[in-house]
Amino acid sequence: MDPVFDAYVVDKEGRGAITAGLARCPIDELKSPGVLIRVQYSSLNYKDALAARGEPGIVKRFPHVPGIDAAGVRADDPAAGAVLVTGYGLGTEVWGGYGDYIRVPDDWIIPIPAGLTTRDSMVLGTAGLTAALCVDALLQAGLDPAQGEILVTGATGGVGTLAISLLVKLGFTVAALTRKPAAEAYLRGLGAARVVAPTDGGASDKALHKAQWAAAIDTVGGEVLADVLKAVGYGGAVAACGMAAGTRFQGSVFPFILRGVRLLGIDSVQCPRAVRDELWARLAGPWRLSHLADIEQVVDRQHLGPAITALLQGTRTGRTLVVVTGEPA
């Protein structure tokens, strides 16, 4: 094995300036114990974009390799089949999927189920697992397509795109919330019945709005989440999984005690292994999406900079597939 490998490295210079770009790294830098995996594909997520900017809450130490998703083969047994890793400490605590190799604990590694290619698994990635967790939480809360529209916020993002797609596949009617009027054709192409703007809920200081949604998946947090809670109907639920719009929101107990609304927190980072296995099996089987190639944007590691900027500026839609070694899907 080559003693060095290529990786997209984020580093901090002496005066605190952050640099990022392709570099050669000694394989010995993968210090964490575990299994060595040769990475074929990764993806670009909001957390990766923050890591590429050296965000202190994401990057624990420098130099660092982002990439909270990775798919490839075990270096010690390539014939064993393709595997994927998402979440845990990948791309935060340990070097991530933007390197030719990662080294992770064995219990982080999931064999890619039949029905998905290596490439498919990264078009899904953390966003797909998170969307599946949100949909599953609503189903477990008793939500049924006959109960009315489901709102999805941050609809053009990775989680939003995949949540809409999964809900539509399962027979739900979906309303997509976005600040991007130009994205209406894209969202309707995913199957959204209508597209609404954040102000369509009647943003105000009212404790409750007119009930509009049977349930919701909120991918952005902040005051958007507060407004969504006010507009969910009796017995509904909101699966909350994001914070791009802020980590705090103001509200009252009225949605909870007058309408029985449930707020369901979703975490894909430390999600139990049994749940991961079940949801990946669904994503490869009954929940398999046939249009993954239509929502992907492909980028090589050396061209990550513009994609990262676009994601942080909110101008990128769908999922970004990152080609690492570029081996067959």
Q: How confident is the model at residue 110 (pLDDT cuts 50, 70, 90)?
A: very high
* pLDDT at residue 328, rounded to an integer: 58
Four-CA torsion 121, 126, 131, 133, nearest 10 degrees: 100
Non-local CB neighbours of 244 within 8 Å, separated by 6+ positions: 46, 154, 157, 219, 220, 221, 222
Q: For the residues 159-170, what does the mean pLDDT come to?
A: 98
Give the range among 112-121, 242-251, 306-315 with minimum mean pLDDT: 242-251
Instruction: Decide if pLDDT at 8 tops 70.
Output: yes
* pLDDT at residue 57, rounded to an integer: 86
Instruction: Decide if pLDDT at 286 tops 60.
Output: yes
Instruction: Decide if pLDDT at 117 tops 90.
Output: yes
Instruction: Decide if pLDDT at 322 tops 50.
Output: yes
Question: Between vectors from CA 246 to CA 243 and to CA 247, what angle results, nearest 5°?
Answer: 75
* pLDDT at residue 201, rounded to an integer: 43
Q: How confident is the model at residue 122 (pLDDT cuts 50, 70, 90)?
A: very high
Q: For the residues 134-157, what does the mean pLDDT come to?
A: 97
Give the range among 14-23, 150-159, 199-208 with minimum mean pLDDT: 199-208
Q: What is the pLDDT of residues 239-257, one digit of tens each?
A: 999 988 888 998 899 999 9
Beta bridge partners of 228: none
The amino acid occupying position 145 is P
* pLDDT at residue 147, rounded to an integer: 96
* pLDDT at residue 321, rounded to an integer: 97
* Average pLDDT across the chain, whole number: 94
Q: For the residues 160-170, what does the mean pLDDT come to?
A: 98
Q: How confident is the model at residue 275 (pLDDT cuts 50, 70, 90)?
A: very high
Higher pLDDT, 291 or 15: 291
Question: Between vectors from CA 20 to CA 15 and to CA 21, what angle results, nearest 5°?
Answer: 140
Range 125-265 classified under CATH 3.10.50.40: no
pLDDT > 90: what percent of the chain? Answer: 86
CATH 3.40.50.720 residue ranges for the chain: 125-265
Instruction: Decide if pLDDT at 200 tops 90.
Output: no
* pLDDT at residue 37, rounded to an integer: 97
Q: What is the pLDDT of residues 28-87, one digit of tens each?
A: 999 778 999 999 999 999 999 999 999 988 998 999 999 999 999 999 898 889 999 999
Beta bridge partners of 10: 20, 64
* pLDDT at residue 39, rounded to an integer: 97
Which DSSP state fits 112? Answer: P
* CA distances (Å), origin 142, targets 137, 214, 279: 9, 11, 18
Q: What is the pTM of this model?
A: 0.95
Give me the numbers of helices (H) and strands (E) for the chain, helices first please: 9, 15
CATH 3.90.180.10 residue ranges for the chain: 4-111+291-323
Nearest by Cα to 19 from 68, 64, 70, 60: 64
Beta bridge partners of 264: 239
Asked if 202 and 209 touch (Cβ cutoff 8 Å), the reply is yes
CATH topology of domain 4-111+291-323: Quinone Oxidoreductase; Chain A, domain 1 (3.90.180)
